[in-house]
Structure 1
Amino acid sequence: MNSANLTRDEVSARARALEVIGYRVELDLSGAPDLSQPGFATVTTVEFTATEPQTWLDFLGPSVEVVTVNGTAVPVEFDGARIRLRELAERNVVTVTATGAYSRSGEGLHRFHDPADGQTYLYTQYEPADARRVFACFEQPDLKAPFTFRVTAPAGWLVVSNQAAEDATLDGGRQTVTFAPTLPISTYLTAVVAGPYHRVESSWTRGDLTVLLGVLCRASLAGHLDADEIVEVTAQGLDFYAEHFEYPYPFGKYDQVFVPEYNLGAMENPGCVTFTESYVFRGKATAAQHQRRANTILHEMAHMWFGDLVTMRWWDDLWLKESFADYMGALACAEATEFTDAWVAFANGRKAWAYSQDQLPTTHPVVADIVDLQAAKLNFDGITYAKGASVLKQLVAYVGSDAFFAGARRYFRDHAFGNTTLSDLLDALERESGRDLRDWSRAWLQTTGVSTIHYDGAALVQSDPRPHRIAVGCYDFDRSGALVRVDQVALDLVDERTPVEMPPAALTLINDEDRTYAKVRLDERSLATAERSLDKVADPLARGLIWSALWNACRDGELAVSRYLDAVRAFAPSEQNVSLLSVIVGNAYFAVDHYVPEAQRAARWREWLDTAWSAMSAAAPGSGEQLTWARTVAGPAAHDDSRAAEIRALLDGAGAAPVGLELDPDLRWALWRALATVGRADAADLDGELARDDSAAGRTAWLGALAARPDPAVKAETWRRIFADRGLSNDQLDALIGGFGAGGRRDLTARFDDDYFAALEAVWSGRSIEIARRIVIGLFPLADSLGSVDRWLSSRADAPAALRRLVIERRDHLARDLRVRATNTGA
């Protein structure tokens, strides 16, 4: 048995036997700036009651030196993941002295060295179960307890945790900071951040409650930190949740820290939220980027209630926090900030993720069956986040907004600082709404799959029938030529076929206003109208739903990819909703790369590159559309070199950039990598760009661009480093993997296919799950047949379930590619 992979059954038994009274965690991080020191001292004292004479503490680290139980040193029984405790009393105090290892994978205590100024930065990331990489603990969400952190770090560093500092002492070049005890929280929600971070302070007040706000980032990024906007969105969110939840923010202060080499978008550590520093924009950012950041801020803030105050008992009910945070983030963004069209981005971005995930053979119910931690890690997916949020949006329509929020308030009051399951939430909502939600739960939370709905002229017909509360919009041309809604029919769908007589209209839009979770098809008349006049649809949400219908039909092989790409070329250049435009151009790239038959692909790349170049040149100077199209150019330019000279002239300053276009560092690197991929930039060119942008982001981009060069020796060395270099960070690994496959050059990468399948099990057993997942997904060979993957799956029935799940999902994506290409041959 893999002792690091905790199972639901064993931790449930441990929870029945224990009650944790509190933790005191002491970390000595004073040696962190010395990169030759791989680890740090960690001392945990945990007090708990026990009804069984033995149990175990979880710890993943190099060594455990001393264990004391109730004041007596005991033999250390440590297998690399578990510390066995024996002869326990009814009430116990256990102290573990150990050595932890700094992380380069974003799991545990991550250490980052900033090449811009030589400074060192630390931060923790634990979800779902990596607190045990930093301190010994009972690593499961239902053993909540107060935590007191005492951190020793270099003098001059800023040290931050979930609570405010209570005491700080200096001893030469070291400081020791003791933080106030937290309220009862789960292990995965604790946090420590330390380093010479730049900090901006503010506060938020409502009634008698004042919350101190902090916004932090690396010192070398301080000039790019737009803290005022972040604070504004934060205050708007706190106002929104205070009004709707009627439960005061419970965790004292509210720091938001933007950290390097992050594995996630953000993490909801109470009082110390961490974000990817890609949200600190190094150049001009589009409105869509600002909206995504605002949405993420509000998503994490919703977790302070859904997830932190009330926490799921085990990862089966991960949706109890993630689905709600995804829904609340979009809702608060639309209703409390300037980004009032947040549901447009949700409908075309988040829901597309859910639709894709829900059609895989490994799909699962929103309320999932999570047997162990490896399964939990892989369930942070489009079902748990976006499908769950979509279903909640329908639930709000079903019970009414007032009843929904009343139920949420009851849920917080009844279960504050506790752990819950699906039944607890349904009980609260049923009490407030007066509705029986068990049938709704069975239909939406405990099943899999996505319905597809179309109108056959007499009825709405749905596959995989479910209950939908839906609207159908009738759109026609007004006197100005705009396509506007002239009528709407609202109805409930339950059966496979629901008779309805729709008023005649130029375009009939099923799921108008995006009320339910379902794919929709356009009837022939509506499709013809869309292909002629999609740019005339005035409402951006309706326009987005039409684009979504076209994309789903394309990826299902029911709409020729040529028709989809023709619609993109015709209408995307005039699209002014940048969130929607970003999704459209991303889908177009994917369609050419995956769905266009090989014989037609070169022509389509050339066509898409010309479209993007022309749209960039014609866009309003300095607009978000111009920047989006400039970024889009880099995609097809990595497959077609017809614009290489013009791109190089832009980068060298020899050619005039479109008026208003800012060639920021990230855009420059994207264009340089495109040139490198088609053999039009060499190592000296890339070294020159690195000299211009010798930052952490610059070095990572340089690494990926070097790996993208179309040279067999380069590919071989990149492959070797991916598997052999254990010093690579998560971001560096991603850069190498991306560079290895850049340009889709199967003539250069196919020879590694057998090596990939031969290495899978060793990668899974020998690397952390985060790193292994990146390798398994990123290097999966996009071959022209399923033979190799099918042979591996048939011969590895006993491989770890989580590994098989990843390979099965990659196989299904490849099977879809091949199937859709076949339907488009000759199209």
Structure 2
Amino acid sequence: FPCFDEPNLKATFDVEIELPEDQVVLSNMPEKSVKKSKKEGHQIVTFERTPIMSTYLLAWAVGDFEYVEAFTERKYNGKNLPVRVYTTKGLKEQGTYALEHAHQIVDYFSEIFGIDYPLPKADLLAVHEFSHGAMENWGLVTYRTTAVLFDEKTSDAKYKNRVAYVVAHELAHQWFGNLVTMDWWSELWLNEGFATWVGWLATDKLHPEWNVWPQFVQEGMQTAFGLDSLRSSHPIEVPVKDALDVDQIFDHISYLKGSSVIRMLASHLGQDKFLAGVGNYLKAHAYGNATTNDLWSALSEVSGQDVAKLMDPWIRDIGYPVVTVSEEPGQISVTQSRCLSTGDVKPEDDKTTWWVPLGLKSKSGTKAISFTTKKETIPEIDDSFYKLNDEYAGFYRTKYPASRLATLSKQLDLLSISDKINLIGDAGALARSGDAQTAPLLSLIEGFSAETNYLVWSQVISSLATVKSVFSEDENVSNALKKFTLKLIKPTVTKLGWTFAPGEDHLTGQLRALLIQAAGLNGDEEVIKEAQRQFYAYAIGDSSAIHNSLRSAVFQINVKYGGRAAYNAVKAEWASTTSIDGKETSLRSLGRIEDIKNAEDEDPLATNLLRDLLDFISTSVPTQDVHTPAATLSINPKTRLGLWTYIKENWEPLRERLGKNMVVLDRFLKLSLQNFSDLETEADIAAFFADKDNRGYDRTLGVVSDSIKGRASYRLRDAEPLLEWLKANQYA
């Protein structure tokens, strides 16, 4: 398809395709005509002309497709809009869940943007081998199967959330990205950051019971913080000069930091005012291109505030601040400085002064105050209770005096779900950077043993997993942390049990799955025994023995403790499963292997299961999925080094296979290598790639290097005081 593939060179497209008569063809626009081809058994399908649009949005698909269809409630040009989910034969019913969401979301976005959906149809297509999650081609959005299909009979309920969100994210692009497109790739965040934020907004509208904003801060913001705390991060708006650079900036900064700062700004301006400004921006630039400054101008006009002045440091500079609180009688002082996970902030790292909305929460309500200097004093503080960054709306970490953190840990009933996630997430990050230690994090977490919310527990488990991962080579610390985790979660695991009650809410089911998995992987004998009982019954043919939403937990627990028999059973499940998420679940579980080598053999690849699994990944697993088992092998201390050894030994064939799509290779390397905690491996990785052509994943190698250095300095700095605390509290 020869063209100038640049976002600001827009055109209309007339599409005509010749194909076998027994196949279906789809494109951006509806069919205009169908005629017989001179070629025997073929037809020629012509489509309506597209609106003026960027080249990257043109799409066509040919296959053995069928569809489910619904219509919008709103009328567009006097008609209810047809919305369809297309699948390969036999899967269309699994598109129903996405369809129920899609037609409502089209109406919702038309309403909040004040602009009707611009095309005469909206098609969603499930694609079986797809390296991304989805692609927003105008009028014909393509999705990885696990992001659009859901089977009530066999799917894990957590995929409901994924499907609802990804459908909303891609439909948001039909306005933000397709109707109005960034002027150049450097402003990709205008597409992705906004579609992420508004995708969650639509999901929240349809599922208020899911608490999606706390989910966003727990999953999205924490991930963005992780990458943006590295020196090798990049500003949201980043110069792009090369096609391989474009792929590399489709990352957590563009999507997750981008959406986090949009959420921060929307919270500050007020959502209605913010959306009014967005609507004006879309109308002013419809069918054209726009820049970040165009968005700021539209928002400044409706709000009367200088939005560019508030936001430019967030968009054009790297990083984010940690706000340090010091207490004086009746007042507090706040200081902002760059937050780096390595903790070694130098003067040249700390040149930005951000606009920081403080969101000061007290018993009498929340005060919207902000500061734009390095240091500020805030008077009239209610010493009995206060917390900064209400609802975790601001993209920054908060460092409280140790005594205040201890007080807040006893005032959990005054905190929202997002506030609790804020305290735990920040305490963990500050321990990693050396601004604090791990002991206060563990003391804080001890206070959450009676917590009932899935998203708060998810942050607890995530923060503990990071600590465990960094200290995994230290057997004393590792065993003590397992003991700590089991004592913390056991009462809730016992209370929830294994049975899903009819009509039980979505988040309770998710909590059960999370904590059963955590208990099993940390060595709870009762949980392991029950997981093994269910797995055996399932393996000999009772497909109802494991609840769909516990399949991932049960598989992982069995692979970890069940040796070759469990490994072979899950590998066979990968080959035979008809469940849409079954292959993903099986691959994730296989990475938990522990029976990997003979004790007397020094070669980390010497035996059995690890080499077998890595050969299987390299030859049999579709390239779009290789990152899934690699991610689990990388967090598994028993297999992490063997995975790296295998990559070195098999680099050429791996690069040849995965490098056909640089996105796949880049993702595989990042997930495989980022979890080491020793400088020797960091040096080994750097030396290995020193003489290679690393274009397409050079940014990722920088991220891997920084991540390992940060983890190594955390391990060396905190191992001793952490073990002391664990001993003092009878965990070691």
Same fold (TM over 0.5): yes
Question: What is the match of residue 590 of structure 1?
Answer: 466
User: Which has the larger share of strand?
Assistant: 1
Pair 1:151-2:17 in alignment: yes
Partner of residue 309, structure 2? 439
* Matched-pair contact (CA < 8 Å) for 2:15–2:49: yes
Distance in 2 (alpha carbons) for counterparts of 1:150 and 1:437: 46
Which secondary structure does the structure 1 equivalent of 2:409 belong to?
helix
Question: Which AA in structure 1 matches 2:392?
Answer: D
Partner residue in 2 for 1:619 = 496
Structure 2 residue aligned with 1:486: 364
How far apart, in 1, do the equivalents of 2:359 and 2:490 lie?
Answer: 39
Q: Please name the residue that 1:629 is paired with.
A: 512
**Matched-pair contact (CA < 8 Å) for 1:307–1:321:** yes
Give the SS at the match of 1:148.
coil
Q: Which amino acid aligns with 2:150?
A: F
Once the two structures are superposed, the pairs formed by residues 192-207 of structure 1 within 5 Å of their partners are 192-207=60-75
The residue type paired with residue 555 of structure 1 is R
Report the Cα offset of residue 592 of structure 1.
Answer: 1.7
Amino acid at match of 1:615: T
Task: Measure how far apart 1:186 and its partner are.
Answer: 1.5
SS in 2 for 1:550: helix
Contact (CA 8 Å) 1:641, 1:675: kept in 2 or not? no
Secondary structure, in 3 states, of the residue corresponding to 1:456?
A: strand
**Aligned AA for 2:557?**
A
Q: 1:399 to 1:778 in 2, by over 3 A?
A: closer
What corresponds to 1:775 in structure 2? 668
Instruction: Output the CA distance in 1 between the equivalents of 2:641 and 2:316.
Output: 45
- State whether residues 20 and 41 of structure 2, in contact with CA within 8 Å, keep that contact through their aligned partners in structure 1: yes
Deviation at 1:344, TM superposition (A): 1.6
Given candidates 558, 569, 593, the residue that maps to 1:675 is: 558
Alignment-mate amino acid for residue 15 of structure 2: F
Distance 1:143 1:393 in 2: 30
**1:688 & 1:761 partners in 2: Cα distance?**
24
Deviations 1:729-777 (A, max 9, x none): 2244235535654732158717817826965995699542023213322
Match of 1:306 in 2: 176
Provide the residue aligned with 1:265 in structure 2. 133
| Aligned counterpart in structure 2 of residue 462 of structure 1, from 336, 346, 364 | 336
Return 706-715 or 378-387, whichever deviates more: 706-715
Within 5 Å, give how 1:311-390 maps onto structure 2: 311-335=181-205, 337-339=207-209, 341-390=211-260
Contact 2:674 2:707 in 1 (8 A): no
Contact 2:359 2:366 in 1 (8 A): yes
Question: Following TM superposition, by how much is the alpha carbon of 1:326 offset from its aligned partner in structure 2, in angstroms?
Answer: 1.9
1:564 aligns with 2:441: yes
Residues 537 and 543, structure 1, Cα contact 8 Å, conserved in 2: no
Q: Hey, what does 2:30 align to over in structure 1?
A: 164
User: Which has the bigger relative contact order, CA under 8 A and spacing at least 6?
Assistant: 2
Q: 2:375 aligns with which of 497, 517, 520?
A: 497
Evaluate the alpha carbon distance shift between residue 451 and residue 415 of structure 1 in structure 2; reply closer, same or farther with a 3 A threshold. same
**CA 669–168 in structure 1, closer or farther in 2 if over 3 Å, else same:** farther
Distance 2:658 2:154 in 1: 42
Tell me how far apart the structure 2 counterparts of residues 277 and 468 of structure 1 sit (CA, whole Å).
40
Cα distance in 1 for residues equivalent to 2:559 and 2:582: 15
Gaps of 5+ in 1: 1-134, 475-484, 656-660
Report the Cα distance in structure 2 between the residues aligned to 1:430 and 1:209, rounded to whole angstroms: 36
Q: Which moved more, 1:285-294 or 1:343-352?
A: 285-294
Change over 3 Å in CA distance of 1:394–1:586 after alignment to 2: closer
Partner of 2:130: helix, strand, or coil? coil
Q: What letter is aligned with 2:667?
A: R
1:28-70 CA-to-partner distances (Å, cap 9, x unmatched) read: xxxxxxxxxxxxxxxxxxxxxxxxxxxxxxxxxxxxxxxxxxx
**Pairing 1:20-169 to 2, within 5 Å after superposition:** 135-169=1-35
Q: Distance in 1 between matches of 2:334 and 2:50?
A: 53
Partner of 1:812: 706
The alpha-carbon deviation at position 512 of structure 1 amounts to: 0.9
> Residue deviations 1:653-682, cap 9 Å, x none?
499xxxxx9824574355334322344352
Structure 2 partner of 1:417: 287
Q: Which moved more, 1:634-643 or 1:159-168?
A: 634-643
Name the CA distance, whole Å, in 2 between partners of 1:401 and 1:439. 19
- Cα offset, 1:800, TM superposition: 3.6
Q: CA deviation at 1:493?
A: 0.5
Q: CA deviation at 1:414?
A: 2.8
Query: Post-superposition shift, 1:450?
Result: 0.8
- Give structure 1 regions of 4+ aligned residues with deviation exceeding 6 angstroms: 284-288
**1:510 corresponds to:** 388
**Match in the other structure for 1:646:** 530
- Give the alignment of 1:743-758 within 5 angstroms: 743-746=636-639, 749=642, 752=645, 755=648
Equivalent-residue separation in structure 1 for 2:556 and 2:486 (angstroms): 15
1:250 and 2:118 matched = yes
Q: CA deviation at 1:796?
A: 2.4
Structure 1 distance, partners of 2:10, 2:28, is 15
Q: Give the drift of 1:255.
A: 1.6
Structure 1: how far apart are the matches of 2:449 and 2:61? 43
Identity of aligned residues (%): 22
- 3-state DSSP class of the match of 2:177? coil
In the alignment, structure 1 residue 716 sits paired with structure 2 residue 611: yes
> Cα deviation per residue 1:509-528 (whole Å; 9 max; x = unaligned)?
11113332211123434421
Point out the more displaced range, 205-214 or 431-440: 431-440
Structure 1 segment 5-16 matched on structure 2, within 5 A: none
Deviation at 1:451, TM superposition (A): 0.9
Q: Distance in 2 between matches of 1:691 and 1:304?
A: 36
**TM-score (norm: length of structure 1):** 0.72
Q: Does structure 2 retain, via aligned residues, the 8 Å contact 1:189–1:268?
A: yes
Give the deviation of 1:648 after TM superposition.
1.0
Query: Post-superposition shift, 1:433?
Result: 4.0
Rounded to whole Å, the distance in 1 between the matches of 2:108 and 2:530 is 49
Q: How far apart, CA to CA, are the structure 2 residues paired with 1:585 and 1:664?
A: 22
Count how many residue pairs are aligned between Structure 1 and Structure 2. Answer: 672
Change (3 A) 1:539 1:742: closer
Q: CA deviation at 1:570?
A: 5.1
SS in structure 2 opposite 1:240?
helix
In structure 2, do the counterparts of structure 1 residues 334 and 185 end up closer, same or farther at CA, with 3 Å as the change threshold?
A: same
Give yes or no for contact 1:473–1:509 (8 Å, CA) kept in 2: yes
Change (3 A) 1:303 1:699: closer
Q: Over aligned residues, Cα RMSD in angstroms?
A: 3.7
1:392 maps onto 2:262 in alignment: yes
Take 2:171 and 2:681, find their aligned partners in 1: how far apart are those partners?
45
3-state secondary structure, aligned to 1:574: coil
Kept in 2: contact 1:677–1:742 (CA 8 A): no
Corresponding residue to 1:605 among 482, 494, 499 = 482
1:550 aligns with 2:427: yes
Deviation at 1:168, TM superposition (A): 3.0
Q: Which amino acid aligns with 1:714?
A: L
Separation (CA, whole Å) in 1 of partners of 2:322 and 2:128: 41
Question: CA shift at 1:309, angstroms?
Answer: 0.6
**Distance between the aligned counterparts of 1:688 and 1:397, measured in 2?**
49
The CA deviation string for residues 293-337 of structure 1, in whole angstroms up to 9 with x for no partner, is 333333222211110011112210101111221222233334565
**Deviation at residue 691 of structure 1 after TM alignment:** 8.1
Q: Which moved more, 1:670-679 or 1:299-308?
A: 670-679
Give the Å deviation of 1:377: 0.8
**When the two structures are superposed, what TM-score results if normalisation uses the length of structure 2?**
0.81
Range with greater deviation from structure 2 (542-551 or 509-518): 542-551
Question: Could you report, residue by residue, the CA deviation over 1:448-487 in whole angstroms, capped at 9, with x for unpaired residues?
Answer: 111111321131222243112331112xxxxxxxxxx433
Deviation digits for residues 402-453 of structure 1 (CA, Å, limit 9, x no counterpart): 5544433332233221222223333433444444444234322211111111
Alpha-carbon separation, structure 1, partners of 2:614 and 2:165: 37
User: Pairwise mapping of residues 178-189 of structure 1 onto structure 2 (< 5 A)?
Assistant: 178-189=46-57
Q: 1:758 to 1:328 in 2, by over 3 A?
A: closer
Partner secondary structure for residue 247 of structure 1:
coil
Distance 1:291 1:416 in 2: 31
